[in-house]
A and B are shown apart, each in its own frame.
Chain A
Amino acid sequence: MKRERILAGLLLAALAVLAVRAIVGWPAHNGDAVPVALDVTEPFYPVYFSSRDTGLLEPEFHQGSATIEQVLADLLAGPKLEHLAGVIPADTVVLGYRLSGETLYVSFSHHLVTNHPGGSTGEILTVYAIVNSLTGIDGVERVQILVENQVVDTLAGHLNLQRALRKDYSALGSQVL
């Protein structure tokens, strides 16, 4: 009898917890993204960063209309979401940019190369975070990355940066970590 009473008590307590959770919501587990408030009825644009979950690029949506200055500033500032990581090496600054036809030329300081950790994965993430973010702007189809106002062979010894690059969707998505 006593045992049944205890069991009934435990069951009631569990139901009470479930009821409260259903109203209040479950707590986020560690590593959950902190959502950034986004009003989808207003203009917004993507800025790409490296995802700690997938090891590939993932967009972070920012409210407003995308301008070249704003997207470059967002890339340099790094992500707001906790599960994303910045892709631009430390101390890098933008020295200038020029839109010629549909090709955007962006010149970075040498830190983009000298402070880059290397690796084809690292290089692809940095280059296509820049290219994918900037080609989200109307009128920008290709991005030519310059370093100290010069065309460079490569950033870290893999990608050919002698030419302008188009958006690459293959650097997004499926989990590879």
Chain B
Amino acid sequence: MKRAGLIAFLLISFLLICPNFSQAALKLYVEDEEVQLKHDLVMINGNYMIPLWVFAEHLDAEIQVDDTRFQIIFADQTIEMQLGAETALVDGREYILEVGPQLVQGEIVVPLRFMADQRHLSLAFVQELNGFRLARKSPRFSGLGSLLVAEAPSSSPLAQEEGEAGPQGPEEPEEPEVPKEETSIVVYEPSEERGLREIVFLGGPRTSVFLDLESYSGYQTYLLEQPARLVVDLYGVKGDPPPMLEVDSPVLSSIRASRFDDQTLRVVCDLKAPTGYQVLPAPGGGIAIDFNYQLYSLALEDQDGSLLLSIEMSAAPEVQATYLESPLRLVLDFQDTTLLTRSFDTPVNLGPIVRWRVGQHSPAVTRVVLELAEPLASLPVEERAAGSFVLPFFPGTAAEAAAYLRAQQHAQEEPEELGAELLPTGEGVLSGLVIAVDPGHGGSDPGTIGYQGTFEKDVNLAISLYLGELLSEAGAKVIYTRDTDVYVSIFQRPEIAMEAGADLFVSVHANSHIERGRARGTETLYRAGDPASELFARIVQEELVKAITLIDRRIWGREDLAVFNGSNIPAVLVEVGFLDHPDEEVLLRASGFQKVAAQGIFNGIVRFCLENKR
């Protein structure tokens, strides 16, 4: 019984393997000449390999072998490789191989596609020949493209050349020897264009890399560990990859590019440790990658009775402090920062600090939480030496610390006070009014993200700053809930407006639907149950739509929006357009459109104020 089973298994295995025999005998042609292979072509990890001697016998190369290293010397190019090594030197520049050269059945074989790539040879699979053809010119097919199947037209230049050279002689060039109809699958087509022109290492305090792209249709990033690396797949990018780049940075060791498939170029940033990053499509084309600041170590110190946090970091940190009660805590969020030490949570006995914990709160934020017995506030970070910073503490509340800082500023006779957020008030149609402008999201909260990678927070801030300029020119006092790229809680925003005695509140946003790309147009949300807010929303919506001419969706009364919390002034949240819609994203990221949108909202504010006699 067992034997019968074994025989059946062997028979099935044989039948399964059988069809592969036809594939095993794949042939190789260089131009129209068949290469007399001594062994079948082998495939390793999805890559067909070609014997080294083919370059000497068919492609005019000289081969020099030195133990495991060898050189393929062409008249215009020298390619150096080593058995088993996954890098190759082409005229001294290093390239990454998907599979390295191997010794197979006594022959050195090298990756076929890489060599075609380097020699600018086209590579096609020709069904009728049951093999590959390497050619200096375009293979026999009509049209270009990836994995394109086409029949060779008899008038193709190559077919004509073949006809002219054929036994029929040059007398009958218009009737060449019946060219066999061939079906070619183009595996690789040499391209003169280089979609990724250059990888530029920008360095800087926050390590940045710029991918200088001619064009691309999209990208996808993957952060991988062991070894730590950031993979960026660039879609719709043709041409050869640029050479590998060795860099000296606290974050990166090298950047390499390779072709992943016909449409995709893969860029791999080799990291010294896994880190957060931000990908920003540049307005003029290309993609910038900003890596997080690196936080090497933290220590609490007591220097002559003054408490401070000593910080070893790649650049000066931007720290957001939040004071929380029950239990008393001071939370310090290091923005765009990766913690390189282990997270910890440990009791201490240092002044009012009874416990502290440090960890990576999100990919963009390293969080330090100090549990306190008495109030403690943070003061601005000071640089002690290169890469070494201190964050001093103030024994008191944040308000007391702010008063202390103001007093210090007064002592230095700096007239500037309070007012980075208060623009000067001039004479005009809005004189005497205080208007709160709230650019939605910010800092670690990007808001929605468009197809091209546009962050909502950036669009909101740009429109808000243009709006603020117009309002202050018209005489209003403008209060921004944020005027830089920082995170401000949605509950803090109405408080900022109320504390400043604002008369109107305008929150600026860009929208997204749950089904991305589904919706488009402008809408204005208002504090439900407040007729003044409803009228304000109607007028702003009318003026904005008139200015930007996007679809007029609606105004919508909501009582559940956090930015309307506890407010009793006319308050609206303007969704200028849908950032998740490709067409509207193009508009929203354009500064001209942002200015027109700001003008539309401004017109609405002015009309509301005039019609309601302020």
Contact = CB atoms under 8 A, between A and B. Distances in A.
Interface string B551-571: 001101110111101000000
Among B449, B519, B557, B560, the most chain A Cβ lie within 10 Å of the Cβ of B560
Contacts of A159: 560-562
A11 to B, nearest CB: 44
A52 B518 contact: yes
6 contacts: A52-B518, A118-B448, A120-B525, A153-B490, A157-B490, A158-B509
A142 B515 CA distance: 26
A120 B575 contact: yes
A126 B448 CA distance: 15
Interface in A43-72: 50, 52, 55
Interchain residue pairs A-B with the least CB separation, the first 10 = A119-B512, A118-B448, A160-B562, A119-B511, A122-B514, A125-B514, A122-B512, A85-B515, A176-B553, A118-B512
A117 interface: yes
A41 interface: no
A60 to B, nearest CB: 15
Interface of B: 440-441, 445, 447-449, 456, 489-491, 509-516, 518-521, 523, 525, 553-554, 556-558, 560-563, 565, 573, 575, 578-580
Interface string A100-133: 0000000000000000011111101110000000
Interface of A: 50, 52, 55, 85-87, 117-122, 124-126, 153-154, 156-160, 162, 165, 168, 170, 174, 176-177
A131 to B, nearest CB: 10
A78 to B, nearest CB: 11
A154 B490 contact: yes
B513 A160 contact: no
A43 B456 CA distance: 44
Contacts of B554: 174, 176
A158 B516 contact: no
B447 A157 contact: yes
B513 A55 contact: yes
Contact of A176 (B448, B516, B523): B523
Contact of A55 (B447, B518, B575): B518
B553 A119 contact: no
A158 B573 contact: yes
Contacts of A118: 447-449, 456, 512
Among A124, A156, A158, the most chain B Cβ lie within 10 Å of the Cβ of A158
Contact of A85 (B440, B445, B448, B514): B514
Contact of B519 (A154, A168, A170, A177): A177
